[in-house]
Structure 1
Amino acid sequence: MISFVSRNLKVFFRDKTAVFFSLLAVLIVLGLYIFFLGDVWIDSFPNIKGVKNLMNCWIIAGLIGVTSVTANMGAFGTMIEDKSKNKIKDFYVSPIKKSKIVGGYIISSFIVGSMMSVVTLIISQIYLVYSGVDVLNFKELTEVFLIILMTSLSNSAMILFIVSLFSSEKAFSTASTIVGTLIGFITGIYLPISMLPDSVQIIVKLFPTSHGISILRQIFMKKQMDISFADVPTNYINEFKESMGVVYYINDKLVSNTASVFILIASTIIFFFLAVLILYKKKK
């Protein structure tokens, strides 16, 4: 399976266009923030000290989470190409088990998603330091890295489930466009969750990636929130966290980080087995 994973990675990174478009949604979000949304959000909190740095930390956490979705989606383009060119049939008649073939796709996608997220993390740290925000310490970086891995794995399984429904490159391209367009909304990045309709808020809170982003926001924003809310009542801080998706409440109960991690792990298992089931039935 290692050689199969290596083959998938080489195919993906050899296609520079695929690599670029896998990051296109992230570039769009960043562009919207820099030229439009950033000033709107900053102006919404005129009385908060260091609000620009606070919002920079907020958007960076979201970008890292979104990167693992779009990069994973791009990496699975290899699987769709194999399907459209009937290469995957050759794999299926080989002695390799179906689960290992699927595992090879998901591992290569996981590696791509994790790598791109780490690259985004490194670039974001340089930007935040330049903006005057303290760099994350070793403990915080370790926590961020672990959340990146869990979020990327969850996204790999979820995207695998999505692409298992398609066989043509055209259908996959359409799905990629839809995912890239909607991901900013269903993770509460284009707009804070409090500004979304109630029905959309429910989707955000149930979407696994949102929970990874929520934990990342807590890590990235902690130091700056201590500065910005030094003399602010606790109830206002809690309202800010809820309205910006730093934490989530479901049925008026706070979703703990432990629960968020459980959602990431559970979604990984569920989507993986659903995808394997679909692919197995298609083979028959």
Structure 2
Amino acid sequence: MNAVLTLTHRNLRAFFRERMRVFFSLLAAIILVLLYVFFLGAQISASLTDRLPGAQAADIDLFMRSWVFAGVVMITTLTTSLGATSVFIEDRVSHRFDDFLISPLRRTHLTLGYLLSAFVISAIISLLILAIAQAYLLLSGGGMNAPQLLSAVGITLLCCASFSALSAFIASLISSEGAFSALSTLVGTISGFLAGAYVPFGALPAAVGNVMTALPFAQAATLMRGPLTENTLATLTDSTPGAGAEIGEYFGITASLGDLSLTPGLIVTYLIVLGVVFLGLASWRIGRSLR
């Protein structure tokens, strides 16, 4: 166990030592915030005003901030998980594996070190972003209560675990830093769209929305939006009975796939199964790479 923790610490230092690596892991989330501030915010707020003509502008703005931050946190769990696996790619390309293999370390320890460090890196950064979101929303007059915050923390850690396993498996298939860089750029570009963070699901064609909803990224975003928007959505729709369900479906706070309602319990189960499956596949692939 000490060997695994030592390797994990080494991988953490290698990741955080490169500031640009950390920055690019957060780039997709930064882009989402900038898009909201300069372009999307006004359009989506206008759409909400049309749907809820009696709503206060302050309530609309606070709901939008909560909704955007939910997308930011979810995207961060994905992009930082993938970015953390860059240490594995770097070691592979630079042939540091050769040094590891002649040491007394077991291959299982090396594998666990990479997998655990990817999760820890993602968890540290994602929870920091969640804390910033909570502080900002509290200062703006919103924010989550204690049970909602605990729920958001649990969802964040679940997303970090599932996406770290998925990212580790993907990284095990890549043999060059150029290919990994291209993949990271692609994921950072499309992650916001796949999560329904750029355009609400209700504004998309039904067929497109169904395909996106079937993917784990949209479902993880739906799960994340629950605790972050619960209070602001209730305040926003308080004067319009029945509007909460409509707004929730339009903005991807609730989701369904055909006739199947994707409850939080169902999504949690899906993400756990996804994480377990890809954890096994990633362990197998990384173990083969270390031979």
TM-score (ref. length: structure 2): 0.91
Deviation per CA, 1:148-189: give whole Å up to 9, x if none.
Answer: 111100110111111111011111000000000010011110
Partner of 1:153: 161
Cα deviation for residue 205 of structure 1 reads 1.7
Letter in 1 for 2:230: K
* Offset at residue 112 of structure 1 (A): 1.0
Listed one character per residue, the Cα deviations across residues 113-143 of structure 1 (whole Å, up to 9, x for unaligned) are 111111111211222123222x322222111
Contact residue 201 and residue 252 of structure 2 kept, 8 A: yes
For 1:216-255, list aligned pairs within 5 A: 216-234=224-242, 236-255=243-262
Asked whether 1:86 is paired with 2:89, we answer: no
- TM-aligned CA distance change 1:41 to 1:94, over 3 Å: same
* 1:203 Cα offset (Å): 3.7
How far does residue 19 in structure 1 lie from its aligned partner after superposition?
1.0
The structure 1 residue matched to 2:216, chosen from 208, 215, 222, is 208
Question: What one-letter code is carried by the residue in structure 2 that aligns with 1:140?
Answer: Q
Contact 1:209–1:264 at 8 Å: present in 2 too? no
The one-letter code sitting in structure 2 at the alignment partner of 1:23 is: L
Report the CA distance shift for 1:35/1:241 in structure 2 as closer, same or farther (over 3 A).
Answer: same
1:116 to 118, 125, 128: 125
Structure 2 CA distance, aligned partners of 1:132 and 1:228?
A: 13
Give the structure 2 partner of residue 129 of structure 1.
138
Q: Match of 1:65?
A: 74
Partner Cα distance (2:106, 2:174) in 1: 21
What SS does structure 1 have at the residue aligned with 2:75? helix
In structure 2, relative to structure 1, the CA distance for the partners of 1:38 and 1:279 (3 Å cut) is same
Which is worse superposed, 205-214 or 79-88?
205-214
Contact 2:108-2:287 within 8 A present in 1 as well: no
Shift of 1:72: 1.4
Matches within 5 A, 1:7-22: 7-22=10-25
Once the two structures are superposed, residues 178-205 of structure 1 have per-residue CA deviations (whole angstroms, 9 ceiling, x without a partner) of 0000100111101111223444323422
Unmatched segments (≥5 aa) in structure 2: none
What 5-or-longer segments of structure 1 have no aligned partner? none
CA distance in 1: counterparts of 2:9 and 2:130, whole angstroms: 24
8 Å Cα contact 1:186/1:200 also seen in 2: no
Letter in 2 for 1:121: L
In the other structure, the counterpart of 1:30 is 33
1 CA distance for matches of 2:119 and 2:283? 16
When structure 1 is superposed on structure 2, of 213-222 and 3-12 the one drifting more is 213-222
Query: TM-score, normalized by length of structure 1?
Result: 0.93
Shift in alpha-carbon separation, 1:58–1:16, aligned structure 2, 3 A? same
Matched length: 282
Residues 151 and 212 in structure 1, CA contact (< 8 A), matched pair in contact too: yes
User: Which stretch of the first structure deviates more once superposed, 83-92 or 257-266?
Assistant: 83-92
Query: Does the Cα contact within 8 Å between 1:186 and 1:203 map onto a contact in 2?
Result: no
Whether the 8 Å CA contact 1:215–1:246 is kept in 2: the answer is yes
Distance change (3 Å), C-alpha of 1:210 and 1:232: same
The 8 Å contact of residues 211 and 261 in structure 1, kept in 2 or not, is answered as no
Offset at 1:20?
A: 1.1
